[in-house]
Chains A and B, each alone.
Chain A
Amino acid sequence: MSGIVVAVVLVVLVLLVIFAIMTFNRLVSLRNRVDSAWAQIDVQLKRRHDLIPNLVETVKGYAAHERETLERVIQARNLAIAAQGPQAQAEAENALSGTLKSLFAVTERYPVLKANQNFLQLQEELTSTEDRIAYSRQFFNDSVQKLNTTIETFPSMFFAGAAKATRREYFRTDENDRSNVQVQF
C-alpha cells in the first residue's frame, strides 16, 4: 500500500519538475525573443539610413531645384543616426519619415525622374523598408505582450524571477504622431 503512495508521489514530483523546466525555458525564450525583436528594429532603421544617400544623389541629378527638400532629408537622417535613447530615436525617425514623404511628393513633378529605373528601385526599397520598420515594431510589441502576459499569469509568474524575465515596455508613438505626417513642400 505504502509502495503505491510513494510511486504516486514520485510521479507527481517528476511531472512537477518537468513542468517547471518547461515553464522556465518558455520564459527564457520569450525574453530572448523580445531582445532580438528590439535589435531587429535597429537593423531596419540602419537599412533606411543607408538607402537615403543613394536616393538623394539620384534625385539631385534630375531635380536640382529641390535643394531645400533634399537638405531637409539629409539633416533628418543625420539627426536620426545621432539620436540616443528609444524616445529621442523614435522622434528623429518619425521626422525622417516626414521629410521622405515630402521628397516623394516633390518628385511627382519630375516625370523623367519618375521613369528612372534606379529611382523606382530606390523608391520600392524605401517603401518596403518603412513597412519593415513598422512590422518589426509590431513584432516587438507582440513579443512584449506575450512576455508580459506570461510573467503576470498563474502559474508561470512563480518562475519569472528565476528566468530573469521582467515586464517590458511597449514601443509607443506619441499622441502627436498618430495624426498624419505633415507634408511640406
Chain B
Amino acid sequence: MFDQVGQNKRRTALLIFVFVVLTVAVFAVVFYEMKFGSAAIGLAVVAAGTLSFISYWTSDRIALAMSRARPAPPERYARLHNLVEGLCIAGGLPKPRIYVIDDDAPNAFATGRNPKNAAIAVTSGLLAKMNRAELEGVLAIVGFVLLLAAPLLAALMQYAVSRNRETLADVSGAELTRYPPGLISALEKLRDDQTVVHSHSRATAHMWIESPLPREKSEGRLSRLNKMFDTHPPLEERIAALRQL
C-alpha cells in the first residue's frame, strides 16, 4: 500500500493538472465573452488557480460537513479507533482523523487530499450493525478507496474514477486484513440492509463504501440508463469477486 500511495500521488497530480486546464479554459471563455479581451487568459488562470487550490485544500472538510460528520472521541469509540490504528500499522500509514455520522444506515467513507490529511467517517448504524471483524473489513475497504483515489475533486473524480475502483479496494482490503470472510459478511450485511443515508447527495456518492442513494427497482428502459451512472458496482458482484480470493 505504501507503494500505491506514491503511484496515487502521481495520478493525483495528473488529475489536478487536467482539472486546472479545464477550469482555465472555461474561465477564459467566460471572461472573453465578458469583453475582457486578451486579459481574459490571465484572469482565467488566476481564477482557476484559486478555485482549484481551495477545492483541493478544503475537499475533506466540505465532504465531512455535507454528511454532517462529527469527530469521534477515542474514549467513547475505543473499538473504532483501535481497529483503524491496527489497519494503519498493517499498511504502514499515519492514522487518519475519525468521524461519526448519526445515521441508522450502515455506511462509511474516507476523504482527504493525502494520507497525512485523511479522515474516515462511519455512520452510527454501521457501528451498531457490524461485529468486530466486519467493521474491520469495512474500514479496510474504505481506507483503500482513499488510497486509490486520494483527493476529492468532486465532479472530476466521479467520472474519472471507474466503478472498478470499489472492487479493487475490496480486494486490497482483504490483502490488508488477510481475512476475506469478515469483508464478505460485511458486504452481505450492507446488501441486506435497506436503510438509506439521510444526508446523501449525488456529489459525494462515489466516496462511500456503498452507494448512499436509494436503490431503485431495476425494471424498464430507464433503469439501464441509470445503471450507467451508478457509482458502485452491485454488491452481489463485489461479494462474488471476494469469494474468488
Residues of chain A touching chain B, judged by Cβ–Cβ distance below 8 Å, are: 33, 37, 40, 44, 121, 124-125, 127-128, 131-132, 135-136, 138-139, 142-143, 146
Distance in angstroms between the alpha carbons of A142 and B1 in the assembled complex: 10
A131 contact set on B, CB distance < 8 A: 82-83, 86
B86:A128 contact, CB within 8 angstroms: yes
Contact mask for chain B residues 100-115; partner A; CB cutoff 8 A; 1 contact, 0 none: 0000000000000000
Chain A residues contacting B132 (CB-CB under 8 Å) are 127
**At the interface with chain A, which of B32-40, B88-96, B160-168?**
B88-96
A-B contact pairs, 20 of them (CB 8 A): A33-B92, A37-B92, A40-B89, A124-B78, A124-B79, A124-B82, A128-B79, A128-B82, A128-B85, A131-B82, A131-B86, A132-B86, A132-B89, A135-B86, A135-B89, A136-B90, A138-B90, A139-B89, A139-B90, A146-B3
Cβ distance A23 to chain B, nearest Cβ, rounded Å: 15
Closest to A128 in B: B82
Question: What are the residues of chain B within 8 A of A132 when measuring CB–CB?
Answer: 85-86, 89
Residues of B within 8 A of A (CB): 2-3, 78-79, 82-83, 85-87, 89-92, 132, 178
Q: Chain B: which residue is nearest A138 at the CB level?
A: B90
The complex places the Cα of A146 from the Cα of B90 at a distance, in Å, of 14
Closest to B178 in A: A138
Residues of chain A with a CB closer than 8 A to B91's CB:
139
Given contacts A127-B82, A135-B86, 16 further A-B contacts (CB under 8 A): A33-B92, A37-B92, A124-B82, A125-B78, A125-B82, A128-B82, A128-B83, A128-B85, A128-B86, A131-B82, A132-B85, A135-B90, A138-B90, A139-B89, A139-B92, A143-B92
**CA distance in complex: A93, B82 (Å):** 21
**Pairwise interchain contact B86-A33, C-beta atoms closer than 8 A:** no
In the docked arrangement, what's the CA distance between A44 and B88, Å?
A: 13
Closest Cβ of chain A to B79, distance in Å, is 6
Q: Are B2 and A135 in contact (CB under 8 A)?
A: no
Which residues of chain A are within 8 angstroms of B85 by Cβ–Cβ distance?
Answer: 128, 132
Chain B contacts of A127 at CB under 8 A? 82, 132
A22 → B minimal CB distance (Å): 12
Docked CA distance A33–B1 (Å): 13
- In the complex, what residues of B have CB within 8 A of residue A125's CB? 78, 82
**Is A135 in contact with B82, judged by CB distance below 8 angstroms?**
no
Q: How far is the CA of A138 from the CA of B178 in the complex (A)?
A: 9
Chain A residues near B3 (CB-CB < 8 A): 146
Of all chain B residues, the one with the shortest Cβ separation from A36 is B92
Residues of A within 8 A of B82 (CB): 124-125, 127-128, 131
Closest chain B CB from A101 CB (angstroms): 16
Contacts of A121 in B (CB 8 A): 78
Residue of A nearest to B89 (CB): A135
Closest residue of chain A to B91, judged by CB? A139
